[in-house]
Structures are given as structure tokens and as C-alpha cells.
Chains A and B, each alone.
Chain A
Amino acid sequence: MESERRKILEMLSNGTISVDEAERLLKVLLESPDSMTVDGPNASGSFKPKYLRVLVEPAAGNRHGERVNVRVPLNLIRAGLKWASFIPEHTQVKLGKAFREKGISADLSKLSPEDLEDLIVNLNDLEVEVEGEEIIKVFCE
């Protein structure tokens, strides 16, 4: 574990990874020392994120920007998505139509519990970074 921690710190000092990435890797290392490899948390395939994180920070020079730090447990999303099965049929039709108008081919009426589980599992690989007046980061940890 000590060598892996050192490796992460070396990668940080070399500039291979950012401070945020180093922080996440160290966190994973502390939580599950046996499953961690020096190649990163996803390399072993056993990295199971618990939270969806949304960070918004003002970009350099933007003093009045908004700061957002939201951490949502993935299990909460999982539990919340179960409510989707109770959307009345006529509303599902309306939603499907609205999705199609936006160019999204999603049919909520055909959404099964397995699809929802796939959605959550695939969130694991989510990592979005948007830079402008504000830096927006969305990732799982």
C-alpha cells in the first residue's frame, strides 16, 4: 500500500495526474487497499464508486462565480429511479414524445429494472469536465 501511495504522489509531482485525480486515487486506496493497483482504480475492474460528485468552481479571474459541491450516493439514485416505474402511461407517452423532439430516442414505458441497473453501472465511467467562466466537473468516486 505504501508503494502504491508513493506511486500516486510521484504521478502527481510529474504532472501525470491532477490534484483531484490524486485525491480520488488515494481515497480509493484507503477504502479498499487490496483491490487497488498502481495502474489506477479502473484497471482492476473492482473499483465500485459510491457517489456521483458535481463540482462547480469559478475559473481563474472570475471572482463572483458560484461554488457548488454536491455528492449524491449512487444508491440514492438507484432508489429514486424506482419511482420512475410509477409514472402514468399517458405521462410516459408525453415524455417519450418530448424526448423524440429533442432527438433522444428513449422510451420510458420500456424501461426495465435491469436497464436502470445498467444506467447506474455505466455511471461509474462518467467523467465530464467543462471549462468556461466556471469549471464544471461531474464524476463518480
Chain B
Amino acid sequence: MIPWWLKIKIPRADREPFSLYLPLILVWLLLIIIMLILLPFLLLLSLLFWFKWYGRLAIFFFPLLISVLWQLKGLHIDIENRNGQIYLSFI
């Protein structure tokens, strides 16, 4: 399933890190708009350069991108060292 929230933690000095939930629906909506705008150009590029490797890539670019984004749910990255912390979790 597609993730709807991105949880990030912002480290604070001498205090517990601050958790922030970002609604990914806004990102997906923006992405759909960008994809719709780019779609005719991608199709044109694909037709013009079909026999080059990037011509075929162009036509499959969006489906492959969507398949990757669709599987992001559950991805969890938590890295902590003395310099700071990176925390990302797709929920």
C-alpha cells in the first residue's frame, strides 16, 4: 500500500527528539499533477527515441516510479551517531 504519512524526528539539544508527521497525500497530489503535465512530453520522447534505450525507459518511467512509491510503506530508517540522528519512517 502507498504510505500516507512520513514520520520524521528532529533532534533537540538535551531533550527528547521532536516527532513530526508529514501528510504524504500532498506530495502524491503534487506528483500526479507533475506527471500529468509531463506525460505528453514523455510519450513524444518515447516515440521519437523508441530504438534508443531511453526511449523505452520513458514509456515505462511512470509505472515503475509508481510501483516503487507504492511499496514505500514500512520503510524505516533510523541512524544515530554522536553528530546527530536521522529518522524517517513511511507509515
List residues of A whose CB falls within 8 A of some B CB. 50-51, 64-73, 75-76, 78-80, 82-83, 86, 88-89
- 14 A-B pairs within 8 Å (CB atoms) are namely A69-B76, A69-B77, A70-B76, A70-B77, A70-B79, A71-B74, A73-B72, A73-B73, A73-B74, A75-B71, A76-B68, A76-B74, A82-B64, A86-B57
Contacts A76-B68, A79-B71; is A88 near B82 (CB within 8 Å)?
Answer: no
Q: When the two chains form the complex, which single residue of A65, A71, A78, A82 contacts B75, counting CB atoms closer than 8 Å?
A: A71
Q: Is the CB of B78 within 8 A of A82?
A: no
Q: When the two chains form the complex, which single residue of B56, B67, B70, B76 contacts A82, counting CB atoms closer than 8 Å?
A: B67
**Count of A-B residue pairs with CB < 8 Å:** 57
B60 part of interface (Cβ distance < 8 Å): yes
Tell me if A's interface is mostly helix, strand, loop or mixed: mixed
Q: Which residues of B contact A73 (CB under 8 A)?
A: 71-75
Looking at the assembled complex, report how far the CB atom of A70 sits from the nearest CB atom of chain B, in whole angstroms: 5
Q: Is the CB of A67 within 8 A of B53?
A: no
List residues of B whose CB falls within 8 A of some A CB. 53-54, 56-57, 60, 64, 67-68, 70-82
Q: Is the CB of B73 within 8 A of A66?
A: no
Looking at the assembled complex, report how far the CB atom of A18 sits from the nearest CB atom of chain B, in whole angstroms: 21
Q: Bound state CA distance, A79 and B60, in angstroms?
A: 13
Q: Which residues of A contact B56 (CB under 8 A)?
A: 86
Q: Is the CB of B60 within 8 A of A76?
A: no
Q: Which residues of B contact A88 (CB under 8 A)?
A: 53-54
Q: Bound state CA distance, A110 and B18, in angstroms?
A: 48
Q: Which residues of A contact B72 (CB under 8 A)?
A: 73, 76
Q: Is the CB of B67 within 8 A of A66?
A: no
Looking at the assembled complex, report how far the CB atom of B4 sits from the nearest CB atom of chain A, in whole angstroms: 15
Q: Bound state CA distance, A57 and B80, in angstroms?
A: 10
Q: When the two chains form the complex, which single residue of A68, A79, A86 contacts B67, counting CB atoms closer than 8 Å?
A: A79
Q: Is the CB of B53 within 8 A of A86?
A: yes
Q: Bound state CA distance, A82 and B64, in angstroms?
A: 8
A sample of 5 more A-B contacts (CB under 8 A), given A67-B81, A68-B80, A79-B68, is A65-B81, A70-B76, A72-B75, A73-B71, A83-B64
